[in-house]
Amino acid sequence: MTENVTIALIGGGRIGEALLGGLVAAGHESGRLVVAEPHAGRGAELTERYGVRTVTGIADAVDGAGLVVIAVKPDVVAAVLPEVKGALAPGAVVASVAAGVPTAVYEAALPSGTPVVRVMPNTAMLVGRSMSGISGGRDATEADVALVRGVMEAVGQTLVLPESKLDALTALSGSGPAYVFLVAEAMIDAGVDLGLTRDQATILATQTIAGAGALMVETSTSPVELRAAVTSPGGTTAAAIRTLEKNGLRPAFYDATRACAERSAELGKLS
């Protein structure tokens, strides 16, 4: 449903490029994609790589777009919104992937009645495997949310939920990749401690994590069942799990995700 919509991306950084690449790969017509990127050299790179039009001015990108995606850092949002407002077509949808900025901020700065949709992706969108939460603002219809969902599905999976749940989502999927990276670090260091080379430990840990994730996704089997299937009574895995539980792995995740959600809420109030 996004094929006939002209999409303006505000920001050609890593997140903007990931979304751009996903849309082009999914078959979105390059002539219906325009990127506002203040650095002309970077814009030229994107044009050469994806065949899309790039401009240095935000208003030039927004003019005539049916969907405007704000893909700048949160502290830049306030500076770009006046330019978006001045060129926004009636009925155009504004989506944002800027972390922690509530829809109310956009609604207050844009023309009255502008549909705003907030998106919380994660870093895996760089490889087309994002888990993105999507929330419609006050004036966004189901069709507006569906439009944005269609765009985000070019870079991974999506989940539509109320904006009040985005802090919890941030704690799980938004920041979640960092937790997995930390686990990988710990596994690699432990492997080195056991006598493996760092290269050996790295490939063992990363492929194990990737394979375990694929098992959960592709078999739709619960983590509890999958863990039980590889944990023989009195075996090596049971010894490892017992040690992890004894050292507070589960409470640590409860505390970490709650701290993340609370910090997300705090940052939202500062926007």
| Cα-trace Rg, the chain | 21
Please say whether the beta carbons of 150 and 141 come within 8 A. Answer: no
Residue numbers belonging to the annotated binding site for NADP(+):
71-74
φ/ψ of residue 28, rounded to 5: -65, 135
CA 250 distance to own-chain centroid: 25
Residue numbers belonging to the annotated binding site:
71-74
Please say whether the beta carbons of 27 and 3 come within 8 A. Answer: yes
Other CB atoms within a 10 A radius of the CB of residue 37 amount to 24
- SS3 call for 120: strand
φ/ψ of residue 197, rounded to 5: -75, 160
Please say whether the beta carbons of 163 and 135 come within 8 A. Answer: yes
Task: Give dist(CA 107, CA 121) in Å, integer.
Answer: 21
Task: Give dist(CA 168, CA 160) in Å, integer.
Answer: 13
34: left (phi over 0), alpha (psi -120 to 50) or beta: beta
> What residue type is 51 in one-letter code?
G
Helices first, then strands: H and E counts in the chain: 12, 8
Strand partners, 160: 134
φ/ψ of residue 53, rounded to 5: -80, 135
